[in-house]
Amino acid sequence: MSDDRAIEISAEQVRRALAGDAPRPEVTCFFNEPTFTATYVIADPSTGRAAIIDSVLDFDQPSGRTSTESADEIIAFVELKGLTIDWLLETHAHADHLSAAPYLQEKLGGKIAIGRDISAVQEVFGRVFNEGTQFPRDGSQFDHLFGDGDSFSVGDVAAIALHVPGHTPADVAYVIGDSAFVGDTMFMPDYGTARADFPGGDAHQLYRSIRRLMKLPDETRVFLCHDYKALPNRTHFAWETTIGAQRTGNVHVHEGVTEDAFVAMRTARDATLDMPHLILPSVQVNMRAGHLPEPEENGTRYLKLPLDLL
């Protein structure tokens, strides 16, 4: 018996869906170009039950203005298709966009869920933002916390959550039917992998998480959280690939790349990257499950900007 039952069960679930012995989800991507984020609506065609993964609340940093234009497109699609939303899933506490999960929940329902280790992220960033005791660090802002190997479903489609730390300590991949939503672990094969230098990130862990995902069948559909094009060779955005394509062709982590080589590459590359443009607003909001800070006595909400800290 292998020591990784969660991957074995996930692989079996994918094989059954690919063979037509279990339902496959219908996946629709909404790509948010300002933040390069792929939001997915995942629907069980037979029951009309659905999940939304990694939604975006539009945010204009210079003016401090938020907007629900992108989220409203998703709501219009869900209503057009007559879907019932059961889950609002986050792969992790994003550092590059604000989540629209609370707004979608208000309009469509569904449980907001993330990985159980979000508490580690809340601990670190609770300190960064000098949050008081009114900010719980136990993940209780979310409706559901997934542990590694936890099963759930989207209508009749079987699903499983896999803990895939490295980019952050709390990253989760969701394997739904024949499809894996891998968050910020791998990007398109020609682009490589996610950075691992945020507080709590770890390139060794990221490598092991990716190798674990690569144990899924080659035909597993893989959906990414972001795409930045791999210029100059690719001029269009792409967000869907397969485990086989990643295993054989991912420029950072294809089969044969050792953990030490990956960590050396990742660490050198991360040292050249600037902090994401929206990290401070994003994490401040996303660690609260996407809820904006409470308004002050004048009715206005404020975000904090720690100086000389990150």
Binding Fe ion (rule: CB under 5 A), the pick from 58, 148, 184, 227 is 184
Considering the complex, state which of residue 52 and residue 172 has its C-beta at the smaller distance from Fe ion.
Answer: 172
CB-based closest residue to Fe ion: 184
Could you give the CA distance from residue 216 to residue 205 in angstroms, rounded to a whole number? 18
Binders of Fe ion in range 210-229 (CB under 5 A)? none
Total site size for Fe ion, rule CB under 5 A:
2
With H, G, I as helix, E, B as strand and everything else as coil, classify residue 287. Answer: coil
- Does 90 bind Fe ion (CB under 5 A)? Our answer is no
Considering the complex, state which of residue 86 and residue 184 has its C-beta at the smaller distance from Fe ion.
Answer: 184
Residue 21 token pair? 């012995």
Find all residues with CB under 8 Å of 9, minimum gap 6, and list them.
Answer: 149, 151, 160
Give the nearest distance from C-beta 195 to Fe ion in angstroms.
8
Give the nearest distance from C-beta 3 to Fe ion in angstroms.
28
Give the nearest distance from C-beta 5 to Fe ion in angstroms.
27
From 59-67, 89-97, 213-221, 278-286, give the range in contact with Fe ion by CB under 5 A: 89-97
Give the β-pairing of 111-115 and 144-146. Answer: parallel
Residue 33 token pair? 């170009």
- Amino acid (one-letter) located at 198: F
Give the nearest distance from C-beta 94 to Fe ion in angstroms.
5
Binding track, positions 63-82, relative to Fe ion; x by CB under 5 A: --------------------
Give the nearest distance from C-beta 40 to Fe ion in angstroms.
15
Residues pairing with 58 in the sheet: 67
Binding track, positions 41-60, relative to Fe ion; x by CB under 5 A: --------------------
In 3D space, the residue among 310, 307, 309, 304 whose CA is nearest the CA of residue 284 turns out to be 304
Give the nearest distance from C-beta 165 to Fe ion in angstroms.
12
Q: Which helix (H) or strand (E) holds 23?
A: none
Binders of Fe ion in range 252-281 (CB under 5 A)? none
Q: Contact at 8 Å (CB) between 172 and 180?
A: no
- Using CA atoms, how far residue 83 sits from 79, 86, 169, in Å, is 6, 9, 32
Could you give the CA distance from residue 181 to residue 161 in angstroms, rounded to a whole number? 10
- Binding site residues, Fe ion, CB under 5 A: 94, 184
